[in-house]
Structure 1
Amino acid sequence: MSVEDRIKSEVEGTPVVLFMKGTPMFPQCGFSAAVVQVLGHFGVEYKGINVLEDDEIRNGIKTYSNWPTIPQLYVKGEFVGGCDIVREMAADGELATLFKDKGVPVKAA
């Protein structure tokens, strides 16, 4: 299976996926930690994929999304953005709306 197929399988097979440095329990960069915090605020269930454990995924995700940085958040197969975009969307209510529109359960808003 190619790295693109592996990424596509994760993105399309899991409702909310965060490609990040580290894990949700132990983020290894401030940007990843910030997105974990936002997702935690909403109480959204998600899968964290540690790009530090797999160089193919680390480089492949940048090509897959055409986005140069990590973390990268995907909701129901759709690329949402990186840290700054996720934080801005959370602050102005767009992220809550996106979760609602995509049918992703949230525990808080």
Structure 2
Amino acid sequence: MSDIQAAIDAEVKSNDVLLFMKGTPKMPQCGFSGQCVQILNHLGVPFKGVNILESDELRQGVKDYSNWPTFPQLYVKGEFIGGADITREMFQAGELQALLKDKGLVAA
């Protein structure tokens, strides 16, 4: 495992909810990242946002880590959930809320 892969793996495993995104939670730099931030904030779940625009190595490393080509990428308790479309669809169907509740991350 390369250094960048090890660093990404450590981030994924040490944060209950992690969003690899363009920009930061306070200043998203693309609409899709902004949507995911809005959903997580609406649900009141604490999360860490990692700005993949800060490093080409990080951006490529996250793509390789997840085998997913686009951003944002949402992880919950170390499990890759998906990008903005999947996150939004799960939220609208109530599945994201159920997952977060099952993992003990949000109240009922």
SS, match of residue 70 in structure 2: coil
- Matched residue type, 1:79: F
Structure 2 counterpart of 1:87: 88
Where structure 1 has 5 or more consecutive residues not aligned to the other structure, the ranges are none
Inter-partner Cα distance in structure 2 for 1:7 and 1:105: 24
Would you say how many aligned residue pairs link Structure 1 and Structure 2?
107
Deviations 1:52-89 (A, max 9, x none): 01111111111100100000000000000000000000
Inter-partner Cα distance in structure 1 for 2:25 and 2:31: 12
Per the normalisation by structure 1, the TM-score is: 0.94
**Alpha-carbon RMSD:** 1.2
Divergent runs of 4+, >3 A: none
CA displacement at 1:105 relative to structure 2: 2.2
SS, match of residue 36 in structure 2: helix
CA displacement at 1:43 relative to structure 2: 0.8
Structure 2 counterpart of 1:36: 37
Structure 2 counterpart of 1:53: 54
CA displacement at 1:102 relative to structure 2: 1.1
SS, match of residue 75 in structure 2: strand
> Which stretch of structure 1 is more off in the superposition, 51-60 or 70-79?
51-60
Does residue 8 of structure 2 align to residue 7 of structure 1?
yes
SS, match of residue 48 in structure 1: strand
